[in-house]
Amino acid sequence: MDRLAEAVQRRGNPVCVGLDPRYEQLPAVLRTSEHAAPVDRAEGYRAFCQGIVDVVAPLVPVVKPQVAFFEQLGPPGMQALAEVVQYAAARGLLVILDAKRNDIGSTASAYADAWLGTGRRSTFAGDALTVSPYLGADSLEPFVQTAEERDAGVFILVKTSNPGGGWLQDLVAEGQAVFHHVGKMVDSLAEQSAGACGYGYVGAVVGATHPQQLAELRQAMPHTWFLVPGYGSQGGTATDVAAAFDDRGFGAVVNNSRGIIFAHDRPDYRDKFASGQWQDAVRAATLAMIDDLRAGTPAGKLMPR
């Protein structure tokens, strides 16, 4: 995570912009018709996401494409995704691919090979990938190994932001919740690869919608960088995410998807920006989030620009 720490330091904020294109919500100027073919939708997604990258590349350290929406369009969608990743990387952004993959043995290695590795090392050339832990520690090893070989990262789901996430994750076994068991294992994987910044190649997904558990996990997982979803549309606030950071302002990136990329359609922005000015809305929402995180977190927790 040294590269991530450097990027956060360079931009002076820990904002991750989630690229979750949904065709019906694209700015009208980027849509053709509601019956558009997958190849035309994919072209809309490419133009939309590259347009967002143009705006946010000078402002934030990292973007997080949600693979599901590209996959929904089939092969043309995957082609658009690959182009978005390349475009973002060329403009200095790190790219976390949110695919929540998981499998065992050589199958896990195939997923890791597909997604991890900048330059020409993997097809989709991501800097990091999200991974689900249900299959156990041996299923995570191929992802961690590939990440180490390629100076990339793996973010393992620990405590997710959805209302029903606790159904399995909060079950108490041997005196602690399942998500604490997973967190402990993830931190031991992270510790084995800790770099100059103190964090390893292995990170954790911990939702902003559970601030108490977020604080507990920060204490319990000192070697693990957090990817924090749930800020904004899902209800998480700057105060909620403050506990995710260490005293240097490192240790976490906070994701916002809808609140930024569809800012042109937000009730509080809709009247200020015309459809053709959707990129101005993205810029305003990104700057507002950066300010909000700075104001809502204790002094020193977020580095000044």
**Residues with active-site annotation:** 100
Answer for the pair 254, 244: CB distance below 8 angstroms, yes or no. Answer: yes
Given candidates 78, 194, 220, 303, which one binds a copy of itself under the rule CB under 8 A? 78
One-character DSSP codes across 257-298: SHHHHTGGGSTTTTTTS-GGGHHHHHHHHHHHHHHHHHHHS-
121 binds a copy of itself (CB under 8 A): no
* Binding region for a copy of itself (CB under 8 A) out of 51-59, 160-168, 265-273, 276-284: 160-168
In DSSP notation, 176-216 reads: EEHHHHHHHHHHHHHHTT--TTS--SEEEEE-TT-HHHHHH
Of the candidate spans 167-175, 192-200, 212-220, 264-272, the one that interacts with a copy of itself by CB under 8 A turns out to be: 167-175
Amino acid at 178: V
**235 sits near a copy of itself (criterion: CB under 8 A):** no
The amino acid sitting at 57 is A
Rounded to a whole number of angstroms, the minimum distance from the CB of residue 84 to a copy of itself is 13
Shortest distance, position 236 Cβ to a copy of itself, whole Å? 14
- The answer to whether 89 and 117 are in contact (CB under 8 A) is no
Q: How far is residue 116 from each of residues 20, 97, 254, 300, measured CA to CA in Å?
A: 20, 9, 21, 33
Q: 58 vs 163, which CB is nearer to a copy of itself? A: 163
Report if residue 69 touches a copy of itself, rule: CB under 8 A: yes
Query: Interacting stretch for a copy of itself, rule CB under 8 A, among 45-53, 107-115, 269-277, 278-286?
Result: 107-115
Contact residues for a copy of itself (CB under 8 A)? 20, 22, 38, 66, 68-69, 71-79, 82, 100-108, 110-111, 113-114, 123-124, 132-139, 157, 160-169, 171-174, 178, 181-182, 185
